[in-house]
Structure 1
């Protein structure tokens, strides 16, 4: 089960407390109508749990707060089927850059910056499709803080040289010519950077390595099975293939983001916090 990162030996307080302090500094120091905090990390790292806890704290403190997952911006199943036929079959699978409706996310931010209410889309992972508008939540007028969380939030594109060699079986067998990974990288270099540029502070939950992600993702799927049994919930074999779609960019982020994210929360294999660092060093 995904747990909230808690107290780490040798650190001054918990991850949620350190993050709360970062957000408070951003709210008081930025002359903007809307402060946007990005939370990113590999699948199962606890970012959604952390974001929900943070929202609850700031709501209680009288700061109108909205929570948006980049997962809720996934294109509909029909849209991804069309994308898969037009560009590459692997784009039928949700997750990588190019499978999100970034214009939808930018529109939400623009509405919130104007002080307006904004509908927040919701995606049903078990059904692998976006929920109808009637099931969406709404960010209230005057929202002051937006928490944008997701596995690839803040990611930067790779170099052409880095795209040359496949990183796993999926890429070797189903993207031998590199069409899919070049499409994903181009999407990431385009509209995704326009979205990520709106982030005021970026927090990265750093897994110890990519190798632990399969176990974390299996634990997530167990939670889905427990909440809503559905034929859309994946088996262990399906999960192992699924996370190969994420492997390239996850490995790149583990190497790239710790050098420039505003805060890095280093996690052990059990998700306990090893260290919390900001650009000035250890907290």
Structure 2
């Protein structure tokens, strides 16, 4: 890429952070996010799209900034490259509350709470990807995409409607692409939650089974995978806590610190395993610092 083209992409990235659905706060952090993270990732995605990639996956632990990146990336691809790009979140494909309660009754009570593998409607997500990417019989068509209302802990009654076919889908999720753990790793509880509520290991074995099957099927649907790697599970907890503080300060709900601590225990096992494996599994792995920026400059192609 020429210096002129790179500068143009960096400026477009800065504009995209202002216009995306998940805005980045104004200031030096926005400038750094746009120029050092978003622009080089967009450059890589455009190169992959030119080779035929249409489903771009973004893995990142809780609080890593994956939702912000996915939204800004889709906005940048639309504005700078003229692509019909959309961002989807694994979070919007949680099972309905009623469905989770049925799973909890059949398999383990911990499945009543959204979050872990086994609480998403992966078949619905796969059908949605197919519908978004496939040409309609009469050209453009609309695709209904579910939205999850976290305040109600249930799927929203009204779906988002997107114009299809799309050129690129940016799919982000905290367990996207994470492989199943070796069985021997499941023998010992990893935290107080597992010790108290899953002493026999049935819950974690069920979660692992889902990773090995329907979540692996989803991972194979991804053409190119980006991994946003935080330094540790403890950093992920601190970043999620920071997000909840912002929500509370702006009157948008948010969990208490005690609630965040309990909530994050449900993600601990898979997150720690992901931090051991995802750098090698991803097509591009980006080590993040505590401010959500790259620890080292990203390559430009």
- Asked whether the equivalents of residues 24 and 30 of structure 2 are also in contact (C-alpha less than 8 Å), the reply is no
- Asked whether the equivalents of residues 229 and 285 of structure 2 are also in contact (C-alpha less than 8 Å), the reply is yes
Q: Which structure has the highest helix share of the two?
A: 2
Q: 2:58 aligns with which of 11, 30, 39?
A: 39
CA shift in 2, pair 1:248/1:277, >3 Å: farther
CA shift in 2, pair 1:126/1:223, >3 Å: farther
Q: 2:276 aligns with which of 234, 255, 258?
A: 255
Q: How does 1:43-54 map to 2 (within 5 A)?
A: 43-54=62-73
CA shift in 2, pair 1:106/1:50, >3 Å: same
- Asked whether the equivalents of residues 287 and 294 of structure 2 are also in contact (C-alpha less than 8 Å), the reply is yes
- Asked whether the equivalents of residues 2 and 219 of structure 1 are also in contact (C-alpha less than 8 Å), the reply is no
Q: How does 1:83-162 map to 2 (within 5 A)?
A: 83-116=103-136, 117-132=142-157, 134=158, 136-162=159-185
- Asked whether the equivalents of residues 2 and 46 of structure 1 are also in contact (C-alpha less than 8 Å), the reply is no
- Asked whether the equivalents of residues 264 and 276 of structure 1 are also in contact (C-alpha less than 8 Å), the reply is no
CA shift in 2, pair 1:19/1:260, >3 Å: same
Q: How does 1:211-230 map to 2 (within 5 A)?
A: 211-226=234-249, 229-230=252-253
Whole-angstrom CA distance in 2 between matches of 1:78 and 1:2: 35
Q: Give the match for residue 245 of structure 1.
A: 266
Q: Give the match for residue 70 of structure 1.
A: 90
Whole-angstrom CA distance in 1 between matches of 2:229 and 2:242: 18
Task: Flag the structure with larger Rg.
Answer: 2
Runs (5+) with no aligned partner, structure 2: 1-22, 137-141
Q: 2:36 aligns with which of 3, 7, 14?
A: 14
**How much does 1:2 deviate?**
7.3
Number of equivalences = 269
Higher relative contact order (CA 8 A, sep 6+): 1
**How much does 1:80 deviate?**
1.0
Whole-angstrom CA distance in 1 between matches of 2:145 and 2:114: 19
97-106 vs 211-220, which moves further: 211-220
Q: Give deviations 1:31-78, integer Å, cap 9, x for gaps.
A: x6xx00000111111111111111111111310011110000001111
**How much does 1:7 deviate?**
3.9
Whole-angstrom CA distance in 2 between matches of 1:41 and 1:227: 25
Q: Give the match for residue 29 of structure 1.
A: 51
- 3-state SS of paired residue (1:253): helix
Q: Give the match for residue 208 of structure 2.
A: 185
Output the aligned Cα RMSD. 2.1
Whole-angstrom CA distance in 1 between matches of 2:297 and 2:58: 14
**How much does 1:229 deviate?**
4.1
Runs (5+) with no aligned partner, structure 1: none
Q: 1:200 aligns with which of 223, 237, 242?
A: 223
- Asked whether the equivalents of residues 39 and 148 of structure 1 are also in contact (C-alpha less than 8 Å), the reply is yes
Normalized against structure 1, the TM-score is what?
Answer: 0.89
